[in-house]
């Protein structure tokens, strides 16, 4: 069990580190959204699952606190990223030309 917990913590820390570096280093707002919404969410989720497994084996019963936090994280992170991206498109936030899926502001009359 210790090997599984160690692997989950290391995987979670690795994903969280990559997501944090992406948030700091990526060039524009739209590419920066991928750091915390993809990698960091996976990293924190792995750490929370390791915590749930650890406390479930040490105490009687299943540790539901970590599972509820993980569920809340996996539901709210994509929704908040989507809302931030829609707001940035509405405010016509600066994008790099190489950013894929660039909206055409001239034809977007919404």
Model confidence over 67-104: pLDDT tens digits? Answer: 888 889 888 888 988 898 899 888 887 877 776 665 55
Number of H helices, E strands in the chain: 5, 0
Domain assignment of residue 13, yes or no: yes
Domain assignment of residue 34, yes or no: yes
* pTM listed for this prediction: 0.73
Query: CA–CA separation, 72 vs 10, rounded Å?
Result: 22
* Residue 64 binned pLDDT confidence (cut-offs 50, 70, 90): confident
What local confidence, expressed as pLDDT, does residue 96 receive?
A: 76
Task: Output the average pLDDT for the chain.
Answer: 83
| Total of domains in the chain | 1
| Tokens describing residue 93 | 């936030």
Domain assignment of residue 82, yes or no: yes
Using the predicted structure, report yes or no on whether residue 24 has a pLDDT greater than 50.
Answer: yes
Q: Residue 75 sits in which domain range?
A: 2-90
Domain assignment of residue 26, yes or no: yes
CB-based contact 38:6 (threshold 8 Å): no
Query: CA–CA separation, 24 vs 27, rounded Å?
Result: 9
Domain assignment of residue 104, yes or no: no
Domain assignment of residue 108, yes or no: no
| Tokens describing residue 99 | 């950013």
Domain assignment of residue 99, yes or no: no
| Tokens describing residue 76 | 């709210």
Domain assignment of residue 101, yes or no: no
């Amino acid at each position: 069990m210790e090997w599984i917990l160690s692997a989950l913590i290391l995987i979670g820390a690795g994903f969280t580190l990559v997501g944090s570096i992406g948030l700091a280093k990526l060039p524009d707002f739209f590419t920066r959204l991928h750091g915390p919404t993809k990698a960091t969410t996976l990293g924190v989720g792995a750490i929370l699952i390791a915590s749930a497994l650890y406390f479930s084996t040490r105490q009687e019963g299943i540790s539901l606190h970590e599972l509820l936090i993980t569920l809340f994280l996996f539901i709210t992170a994509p929704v908040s990223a989507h809302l931030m991206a829609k707001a940035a498109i509405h405010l016509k936030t600066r994008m790099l030309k190489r950013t894929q899926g660039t909206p055409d502001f001239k034809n977007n009359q919404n």
